[in-house]
Structure 1
Amino acid sequence: MPMKLLVMLGLIRLSAAADLPKPELMMDAVNTRYVLRWNYSTTANFTAQWAFSHSLSYRGVCFGVEAHCDYSAHLDYSGLFVLRVRAEAEGQMSDWAIREFCPDVDAALGTPSELVVEAGDSMVTVSFKEPMAESGEPMSSVLSQNSPEATMAFRLCFRAEDAPSQWQAKTLNTTLHTLSLPAHTRYCLKVRAFSEHFGKRSRYTPEQCTTTLGSSMLWRVLLPLLLLLVVLGGLGFLWTRRRWRQFLPSALPSSMMMDSKSHQPLLVPRENSCAVTAVVAMPTAEQAVSDGPALAPSPGPETGGCHC
């Protein structure tokens, strides 16, 4: 092909490329979710690619009309990458829009989720869920895998609802904590995650408010009243008992008022008794002389008795 024709084709390509502007890139990266977005004024197809910064061997990820591309499944948390996007329309192509991206530096740390505050007697228990990776793995594990000395901690802030500028703070290493606070006071709380090693801090969660409990004001009134009722009930019982003791002697027959010790038990077995009468005949002096010694009478039937 003649050199003049090659130069002309090159000029045509440069002219066509100059007719389409480059996309304006914006990275939306939180935890391990990496979405590259761009603005474009006309309808076009877009080609999105990535490469390791040291090789620049590009690999395609997205092609289509959508003005974003999700790189999450292709990029490791620790690494330096080059991302690029160009527009294509009516046989024309824009120049590549290029962006360097390092997730462990550029990706934001996500906000803790599922914040729950529960009030108790002079205390508030706070629980929440730490930021999570796209794979469902806790971000604390992702950080420690990429740097063993890296840790994740949490900043818990709380204040009385009527003192909006008087925040107090605690640094936590767990996602569950109990605060000892004065009773019958309304408190508002919020929490964020941070990693000093990576220099990352998440946004705070929305505030949640609750009122600490304590001994009920109703019981402070009812308890003395209850004690008074118990005392009055006891006095009434004693007075009633005394009146009954005074009433019983005049109301019951005298036979029912006898000492119970004088009565035989109702269930004592009945004993039969019998009376035995003995009749002895004594001789006179004359009979004793004439008749000689007296003979004992022969046994006879018992009289005047009963068989036992």
Structure 2
Amino acid sequence: MGSFKHIYRGHFIVLLCWLQYVRAGLPPPQNVHLITLNTHYTLKWDWDESISNGQAVSFSAQCIGKFKLESKKRHKWAVACDNTAYKSCDLSGCGIHYLGVYVLRVRAKINANYSNWVLKEFCPDKHAVIGPPSKVDLDADESNLSVYVVDPLTSSNRSMKNEISKLYYNILYWEYNVDTQEIKPQILNSKVSMVTLPNLKSWTWYCVKVRSRYDLYNKSSTFTSAQCIQTKGTIPLWQILLYSLGSLVIGFVVVLPLLYILLKFFMTLKATLYPMIQLPPFFQEYLHDSFGSDTPCLLSLGSEAELFRDKVTICAKRPEFSCLPLEVPTVLTSGPESYSSGRCSHQNKRRSNDSGVYSTESSCSQQRSNNIQSSSGAKIWSQPAETNPPATGRTRVS
């Protein structure tokens, strides 16, 4: 029994040594460093992919306050990342205070094999980078320029002055001039968020950049992007006259022709829709339909087609001659120099089915007496009118 226990202990010690050898055989992450900005902390490291031989590798990162490691009490590491495949870890879950000192560690894992921990000490107040102001605004006045600075913010959107009470700003400003190659900038330090730059020229362009500064550990942020603005001042008299003259020219060249065009358009539209010359009342009566519509019309849409004769002759009525109601053929006994004795035409009555208006037109003409008597002894005889006129309504002259 004693020999069996001795053999068992020997195998157990060999197994522990083998496990330590296997674990020690997996190399730890390399180049462990921190990327910081204000209170944003990220732990990063490098890893050689040839070591894993295509196998999945994961990493674990933990942190703890340094004073807890020095105490004799039992301590527990805070886990920031556990079995992550990324080669970085956000330390916001560790609850790191800006003025505290912490110890960070990271290791690699492949299957059941672990590498050794890589330790790194971190003090945010000493190692963390401070950022530039969150925002810079400019406001120009007569010979003065006001600069409004918004403090850099923490990860919880609070001012960094809550963490660094001695934080201040370097304000760099200079006169902007394209022709000048070298301009010596001026620097103004300020602990407040609103600064007025004095003794500046009127109607001059100035550019401004701002950065954060902390003297305890000689930390400075990067400058903000340059912003340029022109100062104001009293407007010269020649500019006032020039602006007034320009306004008058614009008024004559642009406004007056536009008004003239609008006036002509209005007058044309008015003359078209409301003409000054009106039709007589009896024309207006027949140009509108029976229902009182304002739309002019000559024929009703539902009326039938009118009946037209082949030929209608209209003659001036003479009071001294009578009108023959029917066709009267006339024969001259004289030669070819004589004229036709007379012509009479009669148009039958037409009736419009829609309006119910009858119209009768008759015309007659006879040769004048002086023309009849001018022929050498010409005599006129007339034949009694036919009882039935031709259907075409035409007159026949013989």
Partner residue, 1:27: 34
Aligned residue runs from structure 1 range 6-155, under 5 A:
6-42=13-49, 43-56=56-69, 57-63=76-82, 64-73=84-93, 74-144=95-165, 151-155=166-170
Structure 1's unaligned 5+ residue stretches are 145-150, 227-308
* Cα displacement (A) at 1:160: 1.6
SS in 2 for 1:95: coil
Deviation of 1:219 (Å): 4.7
Shift of 1:106: 0.8
1:231-250 CA-to-partner distances (Å, cap 9, x unmatched) read: xxxxxxxxxxxxxxxxxxxx
- TM-score normalised per structure 2: 0.50
Selected match of 1:174 from 182, 192, 200: 192
Larger Rg: 2
Q: Secondary structure at the match of 1:112?
A: coil
SS in 2 for 1:54: helix
- CA shift at 1:217, angstroms? 4.8
What SS class does the counterpart of residue 203 from structure 1 fall into? coil
Question: What are the within-5 Å matches in structure 2 for residues 216-231 of structure 1?
Answer: 216-217=235-236, 219-220=238-239, 222=241
Unaligned ranges ≥5, structure 2: 1-7, 50-55, 70-75, 246-398
Matches within 5 A, 1:223-262: none
CA distance in 1, matches of 2:215, 2:208: 22
Change (3 A) 1:34 1:164: farther
Q: SS of the residue aligned with 2:14?
A: helix
Q: Percent identity?
A: 30
> What per-residue deviation string (whole Å, max 9, x for no partner) do you get for residues 59-80 of structure 1?
2221111222222342111111
The offset of 1:212, in angstroms, is 2.0
Which residue of 177, 200, 208 corresponds with 2:219?
Answer: 200
Q: TM-score, normalised by structure 1?
A: 0.64
RMSD over aligned Cα atoms? 2.5
Structure 1 pair 216–14 and aligned structure 2 pair: CA distance change class (3 A): farther
Return the alpha-carbon distance in structure 1 between the equivalents of residues 228 and 24 of structure 2.
Answer: 57
- In structure 2, the residue matched to 1:259 is none
Q: Amino acid of the residue matched to residue 161 of structure 2? A: S
For 1:156, the equivalent position in structure 2 comes to 171
Partners in 1 of 2:176 and 2:25 — Cα distance? 59
Please list the CA deviations of residues 105-157 of structure 1 after superposition, one character each: whole Å capped at 9, or x if unmatched.
1111121121112333322221121112222221112224xxxxxx2211111
Q: Aligned with 2:163: secondary structure?
A: helix
Amino acid at match of 1:40: W
Confirm or deny: 8 A CA contact 1:111 1:204 kept in the other structure: yes
Please give the alpha-carbon distance, in whole angstroms, between the structure 2 residues aligned to 1:2 and 1:218.
106
SS at match of 2:92: coil
Aligned equivalent of 2:205 = 186
Contact 1:23 1:85 in 2 (8 A): no
Once residues 151 and 105 of structure 2 are traced to their aligned partners in structure 1, the CA distance between those partners, rounded to angstroms, is 32
- 8 Å CA contact 2:134–2:153 kept in 1: the answer is no
Amino acid at match of 2:59: F
Deviation at 1:13, TM superposition (A): 3.4
Distance change (3 Å), C-alpha of 1:3 and 1:192: same
Deviation at 1:172, TM superposition (A): 1.1
Secondary structure at the residue paired with 1:206?
A: coil
In structure 2, the residue corresponding to 1:133 is in which secondary structure?
coil
Using CA pairs under 8 Å that are at least 6 residues apart, name the structure with larger relative contact order, 1 or 2: 1
How many residues align? The count is 220
